[in-house]
Amino acid sequence: MSTLLASSQPALTSLSEQEQMFQEAVRDFATAEIAPLAMEMDQAQQMNPGLITQLFELGLMGIEIPEALGGTGADFFTSVLVVEELSKVDPSIGVLVDVQNTLVINAFTRWATDAQCAKYLPMLASDTVGAYALSEAGSGSDAFALSCRATQDGPDWVLNGQKLWITNGNEANLFIVFANVNPDEGYRGITAFIVERGMAGFTTGKKEDKLGIRASSTTELVFDDVRVPAENVLGEVGQGYKVAIETLNEGRIGIGAQMVGLAQGALDHTVRYVKEREQFGRAIGSFQGVQFQLADMATQIEAGRLLVYNAARLKDAGQPFLTQAAMAKLFASEMAQRVASLCIDLHGGYGFTKEYPVEKLYRDAKIGTIYEGTSNMQKQTIAKVLMR
């Protein structure tokens, strides 16, 4: 399989030479192949299938999967770099790759049996998009108030219920689905199941018409007596809450990377614009007031980037990263909204039109403070650790 990536040892602070070369390769791909299609995909609310194929061919959809199973065999930090670079051009592509790597594949590599890994990881590395199905209409921030049920019938489990707001819902053929096998036990009854598209009774429902990241599908999933074999339990029965919590902690770093990339993309467009746009006989970028705003944005982006990189390095080093992941997502997502908004301002009336990319990035930024844990939930996580 052709790939852009290779295994590398992370530097302690800055990027290694190998990481820089890889980052540039992903950036070149995003600029050449994704950028020309970004607005078209946004308007159509549809991911270009050819781009998904390219992402697989370049090894960007199986970054942490071992090479022996068809993946790239790189580390979590590499996933973060990929998401950041892709999101500079289109955060919809960024989140597709993010969910695949930081949620789905991480859940498999951490919790799956050897047999499950042997069966599913080669699929995820080569041609199968994955999705992570936790949220429901009545369980948002309270992620474990699940109404989706799983009952045992002989050796199998039978799933009934709905999932909502599932990223990659249309593109995915493999789903990690959380259901409660014993509601009387509360969160202790939650179990993770591996569900394949095509299983009888499983359908994709309504696709959401969203403010931003519109090329990324966000759908309802419907389970009507879906029979799942016992060997498709991911982790142990009743341990789904642990699978979810630990995977989401990693996923939040990926969302932080998406937001850093988005903000950097908006700033890059704006720097180019203020160098060219003239008012009062000179480029607006020559005015000190504009320069100060650019400097503030660059500083905020760098702060977010360092928070994200630090959390990713800690994760790869096997050190605690719960607080750092929450801080990274909290700061990066709120920063991205501020930066994207100011970039609109600096574009003036043009920024309010779809002719310039900052309008789309402004819309895309809003989701960062909502999915994979709202800003208030991140603050609660950080405060709980402080109060121990």
Out of 64, 136, 359, 372, the active site residue is 372
Question: At residue 17, does pLDDT exceed 90?
Answer: no
Percent of the chain with pLDDT over 90: 92
- The CA angle 267-272-274, to the nearest 5 degrees, is 90
Cβ atoms 130, 194 nearer than 8 A: no
Q: How do residues 369-379 score in pLDDT, each as one tens digit?
A: 999 999 999 99
CA separation for the pair 297, 294 (Å, rounded):
5
User: In degrees rounded to 5, what are phi and psi of residue 237?
Assistant: -60, 130
Residue 136 DSSP one-character state: B
Q: How do residues 327-342 score in pLDDT, each as one tens digit?
A: 999 999 999 999 999 9
Q: Is residue 67 among the annotated active site residues? A: no
Percent of the chain with pLDDT over 70: 96
DSSP string, 57-98: HTTTT-TTS-GGGTS----HHHHHHHHHHHHHH-HHHHHHHH
Structural domains in the chain, CATH included, are: 17-129 (1.10.540.10), 131-239 (2.40.110.10), 241-386 (1.20.140.10)
Q: What is the pLDDT of residue 227?
A: 98
Q: How do residues 198-224 score in pLDDT, each as one tens digit?
A: 999 999 999 999 999 999 999 999 999
Q: How do residues 55-98 score in pLDDT, each as one tens digit?
A: 999 999 999 999 999 999 999 999 999 999 999 999 999 999 99
Compute the Cα dihedral for 132, 137, 139, 144 and give only its sign. negative
CB atoms within 10 A of CB 305: 21
Cβ atoms 176, 131 nearer than 8 A: yes
CB atoms within 10 A of CB 45: 18
Question: At residue 12, does pLDDT exceed 50?
Answer: no
Reading the block at residue 67, the tokens are: 């090479």
Q: How do residues 95-112 score in pLDDT, each as one tens digit?
A: 999 999 999 999 999 999
